[in-house]
Amino acid sequence: MIDTWLFSAICFGFLALCALLRVIPGPERNDRIVSFTAAVTLGSAAALLYTIATGNLLVLDAAIVIALILFAGIFASIKIQGGRH
């Protein structure tokens, strides 16, 4: 029998990989930032589901740290860009 949580984690991981592949050919900088944000968000969801499936809390801690670094990076990117559209 397949574990539902593990299957969901694999699906979210695949979606994160697909979103990450969109970062490379992104036409503009903002498109790449949004795609990378979506990839990290989906990856964090996959890590949460994997943590539920296996009970390994170290994966969840790593996902939280990566999400916080992304959050800070987005604000730094906006500040560098100067709030331009």
83 exposed, middle or buried (CB, 10 Å; 0-12, 13-18, 19+)? Answer: exposed
- Residue 81 in contact with residue 33, Cβ under 8 Å? no
Cα(44)–Cα(58) distance, rounded to whole angstroms?
A: 13
73 HSE (CA, 13 A, CB side): 11
- pLDDT tens string 19-60: 989 888 878 888 888 888 899 999 999 999 999 999 999 999
pLDDT of residue 1: 66
- Asked if the model's pLDDT at residue 72 lies above 90, the reply is no
Residue 85: pLDDT over 70: no
- pLDDT: is 77 or 63 the higher one? 63
pLDDT band for position 80 (50/70/90)? confident
In this structure, is the dihedral angle defined by the CA atoms of residues 26, 70, 4 and 51, taken in order, positive or negative? positive
**Would you list the domain boundaries of the chain?**
4-81
